[in-house]
Amino acid sequence: MKKLAVLIFTLAISAFVVEAKNITIVDEANTVNFELLDVEIEGNLMIVTGGLGGAGFYDISDPLNPEILSSFELKECAWGRSYNWDIDGNLAIGTARECGMAIYDIAVPKSPVKKIHFNPDENAFSRPDARSDISLEDVEIENNYAAFAAHTDGLVLYNIFDSSNPKFLSQIKTTNAFSLALENKTAYVADGDGGIRIIDLTNPTSPRLLGSHSTSGSARDIRYRDGRVFVAVGAAGVDVFNVEDPNNPVFLDNYATLGFASRVTIHESGNLISVSAWDYLEVLQWNDRTLESAGFKDTGGRVMAVGTPGGNFIYSAEWERLRIMEYGEINGPDLDIMPRSLNFPRLSTGQSDTLPVLLTNNGNQALIISLIQSSHQDFTTFPDINRLEPNESVELNIVYSANATNAGGRLNIYSTDPDEGITSVKLQGNRQYSVDVNVPAPDFELPFVINGSGTLKLSELKGQIVVLAFFGSW
């Protein structure tokens, strides 16, 4: 069974090599917040949001050197969290999920002035059924009104002509609205398991559903360009639809990204789409018939969102850092590693196991590797790799020999890659306090919160495939 697992893994990373190309790490920008969640760009102004520290405003007139102009936390929200923003002239509106929305005057971006903050916990929403659990995820501004994607509350509209006193206009229910795009009084909504929905906002006091279509996966983000919408659909990748007839959207194609597609953005050219795909940054090309891979980078970070300031530059918000990338053919050497993290199955002392990583030179010059070094003695490698020719891929095997209760470290690869002279792979063996491969799961019993009553014991599901997702808050 273990040999089969390694074989499947090897086949997976071998297929991956076709995708890896054309993205270079240029630099890392300074940030003023953490847990980066989104990138919003309008002209030379960029807003980067964070789960910790709120929002940061940047001048990107020089895209290679984003300049921090100001930052602020949404004090009404835990940890000052800020999720999504839109900019319209001198007005910027941000969402904070259950903490509502904030409106700022940004005529002087170095000194934004708060106009108002609406907090649903204070029943500030002018709705007959106002309640405290409404969650505002995304916002778009058009013609003196703001439209909000509000998950199971659907699409919510406000009149913001007086930005200090927004007025509730209307609401139209959807399945689970994550994101929206506005174009010519039409809202294109990424509606989770509900797919896409197209809503007529000609009369914003009475929005009207025009058309809808299922998507290949859960619709999480959506962007419009020239009669097409590009939709991030989670584990299924990216869908594209023809929406020239909003009453009858037509599915055109899907591209299955390697990672979980959560955000999409369209380049100035109109035919390149950058995708944040969890561990990866992917660039797709639309050729009027199909979506194809045009670029790929395993960045070593958690890619939450992407933004395109112009030209071939891409901003990659990677939870802990904001990276500046460049798309295009790579003239020098360029080392990509897949994967950037290995967690070995639990072993008894004296046992060993081997897992591969794939080293690929995506550049047009030979890559010289001067040293491959493990920071922990329980991890060794073979074979010796000193040189990779352009477009060459070689499998490097990492051997874990269990001699300690907990073995954690990094494999550092020193090379002539100009943007990553030292590239690392995180290694973990016999991790303490965790459930690993080959270890029986401990039985537990928990009460149903929704979709059932009583309790559920894990042992009752023996023989079935079980997926457990754990989340924590603090």
Query: Angle CA(412)–CA(416)–CA(419) in degrees, nearest 5?
Result: 80
Kindly state whether residues 403 and 433 are assigned to the same domain.
yes
Predicted pLDDT of residue 77: 76
6 part of a folded domain: no
9 part of a folded domain: no
Strands 34-42 and 455-457: unpaired
Q: Which amino acid is at 326?
A: E
Q: Which amino acid is at 225?
A: R
Kindly state whether residues 247 and 365 are assigned to the same domain.
no
Q: Which amino acid is at 247?
A: N
Kindly state whether residues 252 and 373 are assigned to the same domain.
no
5 part of a folded domain: no
Residue that is written with structure tokens 């009027």 in the block: 288
Predicted pLDDT of residue 48: 97
Predicted pLDDT of residue 433: 66
86 part of a folded domain: yes
Query: Angle CA(308)–CA(80)–CA(166) in degrees, nearest 5?
Result: 80
Residues in the chain, pLDDT under 50: 1-20, 121-131, 473-474
Sequence-distant (6+) residues with CB within 8 A of 427 are 341, 342, 344, 374, 376, 379, 398, 400, 407, 408, 409, 410, 411
- Last residue of one domain, picked from the residues 327, 344, 365: 327
Kindly state whether residues 112 and 59 are assigned to the same domain.
yes
Helix or strand or coil: residue 461?
helix
The Cβ of residue 374 has, within 10 Å, a number of other Cβ atoms equal to: 17
Calpha distance 226→205 (Å, rounded): 27
Strand partners, 148: 139, 156
Give, in order, the Cα–Cα distances in Å from 322 to each of 26, 36, 52, 262, 410: 11, 8, 14, 17, 22
Residue that is written with structure tokens 């798309």 in the block: 327
- Last residue of one domain, picked from the residues 299, 327, 355: 327
Q: How many helices (H) and strands (E) does the chain have?
A: 1, 38
Kindly state whether residues 323 and 339 are assigned to the same domain.
no
Kindly state whether residues 302 and 357 are assigned to the same domain.
no
- Last residue of one domain, picked from the residues 327, 354, 382: 327
Retrieve residue 39's tokens. 């990138």
Kindly state whether residues 299 and 163 are assigned to the same domain.
yes
Domain containing residue 57: CATH number:
2.130.10.10
Kindly state whether residues 169 and 232 are assigned to the same domain.
yes
Spatial CA neighbour of 108 closest among 54, 165, 45, 42: 45
Retrieve residue 233's tokens. 């659909």
63 part of a folded domain: yes
- Return mean pLDDT, the chain: 89
Q: Which amino acid is at 199?
A: I
Give, in order, the Cα–Cα distances in Å from 320 to each of 21, 304, 335, 341, 427: 24, 10, 22, 17, 20
Sequence-distant (6+) residues with CB within 8 A of 472 are none
445 part of a folded domain: yes
Kindly state whether residues 321 and 355 are assigned to the same domain.
no
Kindly state whether residues 434 and 458 are assigned to the same domain.
yes
Domain containing residue 386: CATH number:
2.60.40.10
For 320-376, what is each residue's pLDDT tens digit?
Answer: 999 999 999 999 999 999 999 999 988 989 999 999 999 999 999 999 999 999 999
Kindly state whether residues 303 and 441 are assigned to the same domain.
no
| 221-256 core/surface letters (b: 16 or more CB in 10 A; e: else) | bbbbeeebbbbbbbebbbbbbebeebeebeebbbbe
286 part of a folded domain: yes
Calpha distance 148→97 (Å, rounded): 10
Q: Which helix (H) or strand (E) holds 281?
A: strand 272-286
DSSP state of 344: P
Calpha distance 326→26 (Å, rounded): 7
345 part of a folded domain: yes
Range of the domain at 50: 17-327
Predicted pLDDT of residue 473: 47
Kindly state whether residues 311 and 287 are assigned to the same domain.
yes
Calpha distance 168→145 (Å, rounded): 10
For 264-299, what is each residue's pLDDT tens digit?
Answer: 999 998 899 999 999 899 999 999 999 999 999 998
How many structural domains are present in the chain?
A: 2
Helix or strand or coil: residue 3?
helix
